[in-house]
Amino acid sequence: MQHYHGNGKLLLSSEYYVLDGALALALPTTVGQRLKVTTIPSEHRVLHWRSYDSDGAVWFEAKFDVDTFECLDQYVSQKSILLQKILRKTRDLSKNFLHANQYVLVETHLEFPRLWGLGSSSTLIHNIAKWANVNAFELLFKTMGGSGYDVACAEADRPILYEKPKIGQPTAKEVLFNPPFKEQIYFVYLGKKQSSKEGIDYYKSLTQQKDELVTKLTSITQKFLEVQTLAEFDDLIRQHETLISQSLHLERVKNTLFPDFWGEVKSLGAWGGDFILVTSTKTKKETQAYFATKGLTVFLGYDQLIKQE
């Protein structure tokens, strides 16, 4: 029996532009996804995959032929096709992956609700890569694509600076991001899942010059690590949100949903859904009550959600 675990993720800075080389500050979360592999010697060479959500209910199940990864189910879902693609690419990267005469049961367990957008796909890629002893970035880029910061978070023990150069391998460096005002930072779930792929496709459709913005966002990322006061942090959020808003021609989430909120609000990752970061000079009770009036009840403190070694 083998066990693997990957952390979830949140992207604090350089969303979208991390794809073009901007330095990003990314935060691994305290919750992620576990993968357990049980093998039984058998002539029936079957890979039986079963995925559980955070409530313990099965949300996906499929069976594959171990030799070809052909799905053996009567009904083949899009999820089965995607998993098949990942498994086949894993074997391309590791020729010895699953070649013994055995029945293989794989069970995955999410530690957060699937709709939260904390990385159900990236933690899966990370765990499969660990299981097969292949490069997680290579597996990601050859299957699902993206910047790779999420896969880097899956492995990290603390926040990371992440950079994906135009040529060469991505780099991830663990850093100390434990601001003295962290008790005034909260994470709020907006109640809807945002498609990262759609956001990336929209970003890639833009034709404006991106080098200058990459430089500016990299500078803000570095400053996020240096701030000592909430006022400085709020100012960086405003600068960052303004740059992204103007370049993508998208309205800030604070302007559209929370214009009367006294603190700052920052989108995390693809704009328009999943989690936002909010700051507040008022008490946690007052701040939580404000978002509750908006129907938003998933409200988490910094130490509740962000992993620190």
| pLDDT at residue 176, rounded to an integer | 93
pLDDT digits (tens, 9 = 90+) for 48-102: 999 999 999 999 999 999 999 999 999 999 999 999 999 999 999 999 999 877 8
pLDDT digits (tens, 9 = 90+) for 243-280: 999 998 889 999 999 999 999 999 998 887 789 999 99
| pLDDT at residue 271, rounded to an integer | 83
The torsion region of residue 275 among left (phi > 0), alpha (psi -120 to 50) and beta comes to beta
Asked whether the predicted pLDDT for residue 206 surpasses 80, the reply is no
Could you tell me where the beta strands, DSSP code E, fall in the chain?
2-11, 24-41, 46-52, 58-65, 102-110, 160-163, 171-174, 185-189, 265-267, 275-279, 299-301
| pLDDT at residue 216, rounded to an integer | 97
Q: What are phi and psi of 88, to 5 degrees?
A: -65, -40
Name the 3-class secondary structure at 238. helix
DSSP 218: H
Q: Give dist(CA 303, CA 57) in Å, integer.
A: 27
> What is the chain's mean pLDDT, rounded?
94
Overall average pLDDT of the 218-234 stretch: 98
| pLDDT at residue 132, rounded to an integer | 97
* Amino acid identity at 32: G
Exposure of 79 in the CB half-sphere (CA atoms within 13 A):
13
pLDDT band at 222 (very low <50, low <70, confident <90, very high): very high
Domains present along the chain, CATH in parentheses: 2-174 (3.30.230.10), 182-305 (3.30.70.890)
What is the percent of the chain with per-residue pLDDT over 90, rounded to a whole number? Answer: 83
Strands 299-301 and 185-189: antiparallel
Tokens linked to 184: 């005034």
Nearest alpha carbon to residue 154 among 274, 277, 33: 33
- In DSSP notation, 146-170 reads S-SHHHHHHH-SS-EEEE--SSS--
What is the percent of the chain with per-residue pLDDT over 70, rounded to a whole number? Answer: 98
pLDDT digits (tens, 9 = 90+) for 145-160: 999 999 999 999 999 9
pLDDT band at 194 (very low <50, low <70, confident <90, very high): low
Helices (H), 179-271: 196-205, 211-224, 230-248, 253-257
Tally Cβ neighbours within 10 Å of residue 309.
10
Q: Give dist(CA 288, CA 294) in Å, integer.
A: 10
Overall average pLDDT of the 19-40 stretch: 96
